[in-house]
Structure 1
Amino acid sequence: MSQLRELLLAHIGYSAWATRRVLEACSPLTEEQLGRNCGASHSSLLQTFRHSHDGEKVWLRRLVEVDNDRLPRGSAPEHSFESLVQSWPELWEGYRRWLEAASEDDLTFELSTILPDDADFRVPRWQIVLHAVNHSSFHRGQIITMLRGFGVQPPNTDLTAYYATH
């Protein structure tokens, strides 16, 4: 297995582990708490989870469907917290399966996409995987801050904690 594929698989594994831990920490919260506007970039815990989940979903679709030159635009569905908990493992498994089957050429193949400002952007697939992981890490940090605001001790989602346990 190539070092690049191993690295990407490790980071997808980390992201799944960390998100699972944060979802578990949020599971005792009420619907009101999950939906409360906390002043974060996506307002609430639930909105932030939705944004992160849907970002992972769109990028996975983009990896798998190479012939789709443009990412779909429009509103994402309004997932419930429970539906996110149920569907997220399918996304993580999709990334894992795609990475395990991908050749070195697949990983370095550049996709053309359109950025939110309508600029064309070419990006190698391996960078898309790292972007998805980084994007989720960023928003997990926001969720952890919101959890602290509710008096909840957040889980340790640091990469070194993942390495120490895996």
Structure 2
Amino acid sequence: MPTSHLRELLLAHTGYSAWATRQVLEACSSLTEEELARDLGFSHSSLLQTFRHSHDAERVWLDRLVAVGKGRLPLGPAPEHSFESLVQSWPGLWEGYRRWLDGASEEDLTFELCTVLPDDAVFCVPRWQIVLHAINHSSFHRGQIITMLRGFELQRPNTDLTAYYATH
């Protein structure tokens, strides 16, 4: 795939991921701190913990994209950001991905970046695959959040890719 097409695809999908996360954040904005922190029995326990994990993963992978050498993923839980601080911080991450992709050359996109995972395994992939991983990871956790919302009297947003295409 020519780099310009790859960049366009990655930009479209990072745009989708940002849009979908905004939809889910908006759907959760009326919940109380207690409701956001309630243990609902999912992999990251609560809505807030799942948001924290997803946000932190996007931040970590963006940091890795701009890195040159081998780096290590952080160990331990995601930082304990409030829901409001995540809402405020996330647009900066989305802009960071967009800026990086806008300026990325073919060499930047295809450069194989090695990362040391928390279990000390080394993960080496081209940078474009890191972008796709970050998008896929966020989609997975948005799905969990939408499932968690079934326990609340809220309208669950449609974050399907076709809904994004229909509005953009």
Q: TM-score, normalised by structure 2?
A: 0.95
DSSP 3-state at the match of 1:2: helix
CA shift at 1:75, angstroms?
A: 3.9
After superposing the two structures, state which structure 1 stretch, 115-124 or 23-32, moved more. Answer: 115-124
Task: Indicate whether 1:41 and 2:55 are aligned.
Answer: no
**Equivalent position of 1:95 in the other structure:** 97
**Equivalent position of 1:73 in the other structure:** 75
**Equivalent position of 1:144 in the other structure:** 146
One-letter code aligned to 2:125: V
In the alignment of these two chains, the number of paired residues is: 166
DSSP 3-state at the match of 1:9: helix
Q: 2:111·2:126 contact (CA, 8 Å) conserved in 1?
A: yes
After superposing the two structures, state which structure 1 stretch, 144-153 or 35-44, moved more. Answer: 144-153
State the alpha-carbon separation in 1 of the partners of residues 124 and 147 from structure 2: 34
Q: 2:75·2:118 contact (CA, 8 Å) conserved in 1?
A: no
Q: 2:70·2:116 contact (CA, 8 Å) conserved in 1?
A: no
Percent identity, please. 81
One-letter code aligned to 2:120: D
What does the per-residue CA deviation read over 1:71-112, in whole Å, with 9 as the maximum and x for residues that have no partner?
333443200000000000000000000000000110010011
Task: Indicate whether 1:52 and 2:51 are aligned.
Answer: no
CA RMSD of aligned residues (A): 1.2
Q: Which stretches in structure 1 are left out of the alignment for 5+ residues?
A: none
**Equivalent position of 1:114 in the other structure:** 116
State the alpha-carbon separation in 2 of the partners of residues 9 and 42 from structure 1: 28
State the alpha-carbon separation in 2 of the partners of residues 53 and 36 from structure 1: 19
State the alpha-carbon separation in 2 of the partners of residues 73 and 98 from structure 1: 25
**Equivalent position of 2:63 in the other structure:** 61
Q: TM-score, normalised by structure 1?
A: 0.96
After superposing the two structures, state which structure 1 stretch, 71-80 or 83-92, moved more. Answer: 71-80
Task: Indicate whether 1:8 and 2:10 are aligned.
Answer: yes
Q: Which stretches in structure 2 are left out of the alignment for 5+ residues?
A: none
State the alpha-carbon separation in 2 of the partners of residues 69 and 92 from structure 1: 21
**Equivalent position of 1:124 in the other structure:** 126
What does the per-residue CA deviation read over 1:27-83, in whole Å, with 9 as the maximum and x for residues that have no partner?
000111000000010000000000000000000000012235323334432000000
